[in-house]
Amino acid sequence: MSTATDTANEDLQHDHHDDHHAHHAPSGITRWLFTTNHKDIGTLYLWFAFIMFLIGGAMAMVIRAELFQPGLQIVDPNFFNQMTTVHGLIMVFGAVMPAFTGLANWLVPMMIGAPDMALPRMNNWSFWILPFAFLILIGSLFLPGGGPNFGWTFYAPLSTTYSNDSTALFVFSVHIMGISSIMGAINVIVTIFNMRAPGMTWMKMPLFVWTWLITAFLLIAVMPVLAGAVTMVLTDKFFGTSFFDAAGGGDPVLFQHIFWFFGHPEVYIMILPAFGIISHIIPTFSRKKLFGYASMVYATASIALLSFIVWAHHMFTTGMPVGAELFFMFATMLISVPTGVKVFNWVATMWRGSMTFEVPMLFALAFIILFTIGGFSGLMLAITPVDFQYHDTYFVVAHFHYVLVTGAIFSIMAAVYYWLPKWTGKMFDVTLAKWHFWCSLISVNLLFFPMHFVGLAGMPRRIPDYSLQFADFNKWISIGGFAFGLSQLIFLAVLIKASRKQGEPVDDRVWEGAEGLEWEIPSPAPYHTFDTPPVVK
């Protein structure tokens, strides 16, 4: 992987002669509005994602408050549906994806020795359209008739025949989110193809770069399909087409096929960069090289390819021919092979390593264990006859929250703690961070683990009321939910302290065992890095 380089300090001094632009960040609000700097844009993405995480989390609190006890007590069912819908949309498109894009912005150029992203102005555009998209989406909740209430998957006919007028706004806001993701992905992919420093060959690329390259490919391949799906919903609802209406020769199941052709690769879009992050953190704190670098790359590529031929495992109960059910079952189970390779490699990296347990490592370890639990429940759901039982129950909710919260989001937190000192030049408040970790770890399991039980016992998802037998578990789930939500305020405190540059200064390498180009530039990372590319040996 990435090895020695000429030091960036030299670069910077040498750059002062032939540099056209200032090395110091511009100030004021226009710095952020007009910026073309990958670090600024990365920061914008990360803060935006965190704010969305808190807003989406607040909606989850509404859901858990309603489900604290059986019966309808706090919100009416239509509002409950809007909360589940917008919670999902915000967390997927507003929190996890922008957070990964933010990390890519900050890290990819520094990791491959590039002066910036390949297309810096487009980079700014792809960020700034996002807040507007969510302004529209969240704003639609306040319109007469309310916002989207058909679930984040917006299945027809819920989103066509039975939806409210504001569906049009939902459709156009999803279009903007898609445009943003596609532009972001094009930027990442071109940066990696075209901007690598001399000597940074493909198989020397850090794994975060590899996983993001493959993620970007997935994004460009499937976000347009989502755009097609919402467009057909729009014309079905407002212009009298019948893509998803059997009376006109269409089929509501067609919607599900198109949606999940986007939706399944989307799942990997939200986890592949996490695999990259974990593959950086585990070697650092085990003080060993990553075990099986090449197999990690191939496993990532295999997962991405398989992700295109497994979509219908979301639709086992919608009435497909048996042959199709079998195909999608086996194809899905096949994914556990490359995923298993990854988990094995992480464990093998730690084997006989000289391990220490700094905050990023704690999150990374929690990731490996809890993501694997989510992976196993995914394997259970992949088995068609079993899925007939589990489909649309809380077991599914438990499954995808294990992979998305303790998977994707824990990896993002791990990444933030890992690279934050490089960004700010100061060590974050470790005590608070540890509180954040342990509170999150305990509460997240209290929140999601019992969902497996109520799901297996038959509690359906997306319903504001439930049978009395589920009352005890739901009480604990809700308590776990509130505790997890509050724990994130500790994270907020850590981040505010860090952004005010409080804390002990750190050296360039920050962590003893850290390897890669980003650790060889000064801390905090200068506003412009690698204006002249380093040579990777």
Q: How far apart (Å, rounded) are the C-alpha atoms in residues 110 and 528? A: 10
Question: Which of residues 27, 30, 142, 385 is near other proteins by CB under 8 A?
Answer: 30
Q: How far apart (Å, rounded) are the C-alpha atoms in residues 461 and 96? A: 22
Task: Report residue 300 as tokens.
Answer: 């990532």
Residue 313 bears catalytic tag: yes
Residue 266 bears catalytic tag: yes
Q: Which of 101, 279, 406, 440 is catalytic?
A: 279
Residue 180 bears catalytic tag: yes
Q: CA nearest 89: which of 171, 152, 173, 37?
A: 152
How near is the Cβ of 152 to other proteins at its closest, in Å?
18
140 and 163 Cβ atoms separated by less than 8 Å: no
Three-state DSSP class for 319? coil
**Which residue, 146 or 460, is less far from other proteins as judged by CB?**
146
Q: How far apart (Å, rounded) are the C-alpha atoms in residues 294 and 202? A: 10
Cis peptide before 321 (omega within 30 of 0): no
Three-state DSSP class for 425? coil
Q: Which stretch binds other proteins (CB under 8 A): 91-99, 146-154, 257-265, 490-498?
A: 257-265
Task: Report residue 433 as tokens.
Answer: 């961070």
- Note whether 35 binds other proteins by CB under 8 A: yes
- Note whether 61 binds other proteins by CB under 8 A: no
Q: Which stretch binds other proteins (CB under 8 A): 279-287, 309-317, 369-377, 529-537?
A: 529-537
Which residues have C-beta within 8 Å of that of residue 76, sequence separation ≥ 6? Answer: none
How near is the Cβ of 472 to other proteins at its closest, in Å?
43
**Which residue, 6 or 392, is less far from other proteins as judged by CB?**
6
- Note whether 222 binds other proteins by CB under 8 A: yes
Site for other proteins in 268-327 (CB under 8 A): 321
**Paired residues of 426 in beta bridges:** 505
Residue 352 bears catalytic tag: no
Q: List C-alpha distances in Å: 364 to 207, 339, 438, 489.
A: 15, 16, 13, 20
How many other C-beta atoms can be found within 10 angstroms of the C-beta atom of residue 323?
A: 8
Question: Which of residues 146, 157, 224, 485 is near other proteins by CB under 8 A?
Answer: 224
How near is the Cβ of 338 to other proteins at its closest, in Å?
24
How near is the Cβ of 211 to other proteins at its closest, in Å?
18
- Note whether 243 binds other proteins by CB under 8 A: yes
DSSP state of 317: G
Three-state DSSP class for 163? coil
Residue 45 bears catalytic tag: no
How near is the Cβ of 417 to other proteins at its closest, in Å?
29
Q: List C-alpha distances in Å: 483 to 53, 395, 490.
A: 15, 21, 11
Number of residues that bind other proteins (CB under 8 A): 84
Site for other proteins in 157-196 (CB under 8 A): 165-166, 168-169, 171-173, 175-176, 179, 182, 185-187, 189-190, 193-195
- What's the sign of the alpha-carbon dihedral 275, 281, 285, 290? positive
How near is the Cβ of 90 to other proteins at its closest, in Å?
17
Residue 275 half-sphere exposure, CB side, CA atoms within 13 Å? 32
Convert residues 124-143 into a mask of x (bound to other proteins by CB under 8 A) and - (unbound).
xx--xx--xx-xx-------
**Which residue, 193 or 376, is less far from other proteins as judged by CB?**
193
Convert residues 502-521 into a mask of x (bound to other proteins by CB under 8 A) and - (unbound).
--------------------
Site for other proteins in 7-26 (CB under 8 A): 18, 21, 26
Question: Which of residues 92, 234, 350, 414 is near other proteins by CB under 8 A?
Answer: 234
Question: Which of residues 48, 100, 210, 261 is near other proteins by CB under 8 A?
Answer: 261
Q: How far apart (Å, rounded) are the C-alpha atoms in residues 476 and 68? A: 8
Residue 257 bears catalytic tag: no
Q: Which of 2, 167, 215, 339 is catalytic?
A: 339
Residue 16 bears catalytic tag: no
Residue 126 bears catalytic tag: no
DSSP state of 147: S
Task: Report residue 139 as tokens.
Answer: 């704003």
- Note whether 84 binds other proteins by CB under 8 A: no
Site for other proteins in 100-119 (CB under 8 A): 114-116, 118-119
Q: How far apart (Å, rounded) are the C-alpha atoms in residues 118 and 72? A: 53
106 and 174 Cβ atoms separated by less than 8 Å: no
Query: Could you list the active site residues?
Result: 87, 116, 152, 180-181, 264, 266, 268, 279, 313-314, 339, 342, 461
